[in-house]
A = this chain, B = another copy of it.
Amino acid sequence: MFKKVLIANRGEIAVRIIRACRELGIETVAVYSEADRRALHVRYADEAYLLGPAPSRESYLRADKILEIARKSGADAIHPGYGFLAERDDFAAACEEGRIAFIGPKPSAIAAMGDKAVARATVIKAGVPVVPGTEDVGNMTNDDLLGIAPKIGFPLLIKATAGGGGKGMREVRSLEEMPTLLESARREAESAFGDGNVYLEKLVEGARHIEFQILADSQGNAIHLGERECSLQRRHQKLLEEAPSPELDEELRNRMGSVAVKSAQAVNYVNAGTIEFLLDKDRNFYFLEMNTRLQVEHPVTEMVTGIDIVKEQIRIARGRALSYKQEDVHFNGHAIECRINAEDPYNNFMPSTGRITHSLLPTGPGVRVDTGVYPGFEITPFYDPMIAKLIVWGETRAQAILRMRRALEEYRIVGVRTNIPFHQTMMDSHRFMAGQYDTRFVEERFSMDDAEEHRRKNEEVAAILATLVAHQQTERSAQFVQRNERDTSNWKWVGRWERMHR
């Protein structure tokens, strides 16, 4: 067993990994930026070391410093979480050289899957279907891409080869708008990954985003833990995930699952990873990309399988065989995850910063919250706006939705705006309830004004509430005036006292 694991990350995922380590009796080392001295992962870890100033480049992306801290603290292993250094093959290789276990795949697998163009080429060879797009190419110029685009056909997507999380992604409807979009995609990719390379892919319309969780050990065993439905996205950022997908039946699940396992095996994959597919209206599916790391949305899979994916990752990194065979994996009930972001859904999802002054977590049966924040914590503009993940389990999808609805209503966060109202509106949406949605649903067919009837019902209550608060404020400021008057008279009294003792 590892004795000590360094977690090269922050926020909810660092806390999640610390929890797994603690439950395995492994000591934990946190690293933190100056903005995160009071962050939960620092509070919960056994050891904590400062990396540098708040910007990621000077802290969580400083591979050199992180390795130095690992050596200094005597950590046997590093868990990279997601984002930051998680999909950097050079970092995984540096860990290997430093004789520190990297809790993730081999550098070669990261490299093969990390460059989206190489990944496509690799899985095509293994007979896995892919979305039509630019093939086997690395550094394409804008001219190259503009030339190939009409052959792929519009609409199409520009995607960052180093990408992830929708960063550097742009949708192109015509050749005319393509040059500008290429520029902005490259700019965003450069800023997010330090790599401005992009490639093109046909936009599959009416598609669902379905991904399969893979576990593979170093002894050649590879299994899948079923799918996650991740079609609810906005600007290519996932907002809500569920397992299982309302669209899949067992036959399709088995078929896609075995293709997913085959894709992972094509790069001799070891550890936890995710194969993303697009599923079109006719139930054809295409390999999109592989995420060679733990996903944000891994908890929905944990809730329906009972398998702790992070613990399994650690087990695999120690060289042990998987605890489960494919036939041991059973799916029980339904799970939904809502990503709670510090964003204002009433103002174009504008990020919101500030101090969380009050917070009440939803708890009770079937509810899990993964978060890195707490009352008193300051949300800074340096990192991504996800402050918590709210996950529920129900015996059926309907029960999970009803439970999520009550959990969202219970969740109170005061001090920053959050997208909780967005999720509440989603839970009330008939299309969502019916499971009828695709990746364009949020942007094209969803509105925050949906629930007009709900609204009318509570207008009078809102009027009473605001009037009472306004009235209270007026009364209070009147009292301030009165108190000031008393203060003045105090001063007068001092004067009088002075005169008396003159």
Q: Which A residues form the contact surface with B (CB < 8 A)?
A: 15-16, 19-20, 22-25, 44, 299, 302, 306, 308, 332-333, 358, 360-361, 363-371, 374-376, 395, 399, 402-403, 405-406, 409-410, 491, 494-495, 498-499, 502
Contact = CB atoms under 8 A, between A and B. Distances in A.
Copies per assembly: 2
Nearest to A20: B365
Contact of A368 (B332, B364, B399, B502): B364
Contacts of A494: 491, 494-495, 498
A367 B393 CA distance: 13
A494 B364 CA distance: 60
Given A306-B395, A495-B494, A363 B358 contact: no
Contacts of A409: 22
B363 A369 contact: yes
B363 A375 contact: no
Nearest to A410: B44
A24 B375 CA distance: 31
Contacts of A369: 363-364
A23 B332 CA distance: 19
27 contacts: A15-B364, A19-B406, A22-B402, A22-B405, A22-B406, A23-B402, A23-B403, A24-B402, A25-B402, A306-B333, A306-B395, A332-B332, A358-B375, A360-B374, A361-B361, A363-B363, A363-B368, A363-B370, A364-B369, A364-B370, A367-B368, A375-B375, A491-B494, A494-B495, A498-B498, A498-B499, A499-B502
Given A306-B395, A308-B365, A364-B368, 5 more contacts: A19-B410, A23-B406, A44-B410, A302-B365, A375-B375
B495 A365 contact: no
B410 A364 contact: no
B368 A365 contact: yes
Contacts of A498: 494-495, 498-499
Nearest to A23: B402
- Centre residue among A308, A365, A494 by max chain B CB count within 10 A: A365
A23 B370 CA distance: 21
A212 B308 CA distance: 29
A15 to B, nearest CB: 7
Contacts of A495: 494, 498
A378 to B, nearest CB: 16
A66 B192 CA distance: 60
Given A402-B25, A406-B23, A371 B360 contact: no
- Centre residue among A25, A491, A495 by max chain B CB count within 10 A: A495
A328 to B, nearest CB: 11
Contacts of A364: 15-16, 19, 368-370
Contacts of A395: 306, 308
A258 B339 CA distance: 45
Nearest to A16: B364
A24 B402 CA distance: 7
B358 A361 contact: no
Nearest to A400: B23
A24 B394 CA distance: 12
A360 B363 CA distance: 12
A428 to B, nearest CB: 12
A302 B394 CA distance: 12
Contact of A23 (B15, B20, B24, B399): B399
A333 B398 CA distance: 25
Nearest to A401: B23
A69 to B, nearest CB: 21
A375 B359 CA distance: 9
A364 B15 CA distance: 9
A99 B295 CA distance: 53
